[in-house]
Structure 1
Amino acid sequence: MEKPRKKFIDVVDKAMVAASTMDRDELLFSYKGILYPVTVCSPEVFKAMESLEARSDDVILAGYPKSGTNWVGQILSDLVATFEKKTQGEESVNAEDLEEFPYLEVGDAGKFERMNKLPSRRVIFTHLLPDNLPRSIFKSKAKILLLIRNPKDVATSFYHFSNGMSLLPSYETWDDFFIAFMTEKMPWGSYFNYLSEWNKYAADENVMTITYEELKENRALGVKNIAAFFGISLTEEELQGVVERSSFQSMKENSVKTHGALGSILFRKGGVSDWKSLFNEDQNEKMDKAFEEHIAGTKLGMKLKYDVYCKA
């Protein structure tokens, strides 16, 4: 359901205006050793987050920035909205006045008190490490869809995103960005640390891992598997509707309505192997070595099919 997301657009628009008046070194702050954008996150929000009362039927999406979380998040929201329309009629519990900004860590400190009053099912996105999530998420056995993407395309997408977003520090050259990416100076932390930490949960029965690449290869199968994991029972026709609305072209065309000014930046190319346009031989070798050292032999590392998607 490609409806306008007023809360999303309002929060981002205000943050972009605030960021446009700030110096580059003022855009990020550090919390527990990890950098975050100061215009959308705050220490107060992180402290208040523990008050979230997670539920077993929460629909949670976890993914490192630029792994495709807005794309897959829209698929999840559409699946839930389609099911609710089918079972509850036109008046969906996700009506605009009941919405919160979907990313758990973005917003104001009072959002968790409001979220605790929202009816089920709640759709929640996050870029956070598992140890930085509210403990209630794991105690409640809420199901988590873990989205991962090959590191070279993540870095490439993050580079373009950083240079298009006033919320984040921009980079004069790709070489400058690559150094920052490889030396753990990114908002939301290191990609390799993110996968290493989430790998500890990859075998949990309430965690399903899906890769950006497999979803690109067969979106229909991916949507069907995601719906089954969350116990969202839809007909083949209803599932096909979600598949069609989640095509990159469809989402790009509706991006201004769904994501405001951020839409054109979020939905830039949506492809695989764009990294080949930026990486040089030395950078390829450094990324290959880092992958080998940190996550190659892990469950998530093997799921990424690095040899298929990341070898020149």
Structure 2
Amino acid sequence: MSGDNFASTLQSKMEIAKQVSEEEKLHKYKGVLYPRIICPEGHLKALDGFAAREDDVMLVAYPKCGFNWMVAVLRKIIAEATAVKTAANPPPPLIEFMGPEGLKATDQNPSPRFLGTHLHPDNIPASFYQNKTKMLVVFRNPKDTVVSYFHFSNKNPILQTAQSWETFFSNFMSGDVPWGSYFDHALGWDKKMDDPNVMVVTFEELKQDLGGSIRQISSFFGFSLTDDQVQKIQQESTFSAMSKTSTSSHGNMGNVFFRKGEVGDWKNHFSPEQSREMDDAFDKHLAGTRLGAKLGYQLYCQ
């Protein structure tokens, strides 16, 4: 699917969503909420038989942790390292969006295939672990994540419209949002931090040193880049640069997928009580974990 076709398909799904009631927009599969229009039960069931390859490039992120930004960065890394030109503005490669026919078509694609998902690590098809597929996992501090998720939900008709910031915050804290609990995802990946086929990078690290992150990510996937190539990718992959080209890659939804990309925007939304509630939740779930330390919570969230 080309970028133009993806944008057209996305727009079509948006129009369908406008005719669907708020209650019907989400459904539960194995206890986790998903957007029904783009992740129906048939799509999720079809993933059980998906055959991953050892040389697949797999990108994983909880929603609004930097997935679309990293899609663009990884595509540039692959293009520079392999000298293989990809289609202009190809779509984000989420496996749960593909459905049986899309997965079948993906099975015919040449290596290295670029794939992605928002799924919890326990719900990713077993073949990714069995075949030792390398997975890049992107996380972001939870306070900025929930703010970005709130705005995304209100601007994306495929998802339920948040009645208020207070309601969405409460749902986020209880895990009643699409793709489930942020903390469950974080704990799941914390258990895999020693897996040599898993690399965890944070949104904040990417913002602080994008060039260094590009080098580390390239090395992780076995790609070799020159300093000039790294510099080129870095210049073309700042959040502001990606925002400027988002219309061509995501159509009318470009400004929704690429809103601010800031660290610390949570301060414009959280009440003191909400801040304490998130602090307590972080301490309960992630204090003392390796991923918790990597997120730099005290630096970015207090």
Question: Normalised by the size of structure 2, how large is the TM-score?
Answer: 0.96
Match of 1:33 in 2: 31
Q: Which residue of the other structure, out of 146, 153, 160, is the alignment partner of 1:155?
A: 146
Residues 144/261 of structure 1: CA separation in 2 closer, same or farther (3 Å cut)? same
Q: For residues 31 and 11 of structure 1, what CA distance do their matches in structure 2 show?
A: 24
Q: What displacement does 1:81 show?
A: 1.6
What secondary structure sits across from 1:297 in the alignment?
coil
What secondary structure sits across from 2:99 in the alignment?
coil
Match of 1:272 in 2: 263
- Measured against aligned partners, the alpha-carbon deviations of 1:53-109 in whole angstroms (never above 9, x if no partner) come to 211111111110000000011101111122232xx5xxx3x4479x67501111322
Q: For residues 66 and 111 of structure 2, what CA distance do their matches in structure 1 show?
A: 24
Q: For residues 137 and 154 of structure 1, what CA distance do their matches in structure 2 show?
A: 26
Q: For residues 110 and 264 of structure 1, what CA distance do their matches in structure 2 show?
A: 29
The AA in structure 2 aligned to 1:165 is N
Q: For residues 136 and 35 of structure 2, what CA distance do their matches in structure 1 show?
A: 24
- Aligned partners of 2:243 and 2:254 also within 8 Å: yes
Match of 1:246 in 2: 237
How many residue pairs get aligned? The number is 301
Q: Which residue of the other structure, out of 96, 116, 126, is the alignment partner of 1:105?
A: 96
What secondary structure sits across from 2:225 in the alignment?
coil
The AA in structure 2 aligned to 1:81 is A
Q: Which residue of the other structure, out of 184, 196, 199, is the alignment partner of 2:190?
A: 199
For 1:1-312, list aligned pairs within 5 A: 5-85=3-83, 92=85, 94-95=86-87, 102-311=93-302
- Aligned partners of 2:60 and 2:137 also within 8 Å: yes
- Aligned partners of 2:26 and 2:35 also within 8 Å: yes
Q: For residues 11 and 28 of structure 2, what CA distance do their matches in structure 1 show?
A: 23
Q: What displacement does 1:40 show?
A: 0.5
The AA in structure 2 aligned to 1:65 is P
Runs in 1 of length 4+ with deviation above 4 angstroms?
A: none
Q: For residues 195 and 105 of structure 1, what CA distance do their matches in structure 2 show?
A: 19
Unaligned runs of 5+ in 2: none
The AA in structure 1 aligned to 2:50 is L
Q: For residues 173 and 48 of structure 1, what CA distance do their matches in structure 2 show?
A: 35
Question: Normalised by the size of structure 1, how large is the TM-score?
Answer: 0.93
- Measured against aligned partners, the alpha-carbon deviations of 1:204-261 in whole angstroms (never above 9, x if no partner) come to 0111110000110111111111111111112111111111111112111100001111
- Aligned partners of 2:92 and 2:116 also within 8 Å: no
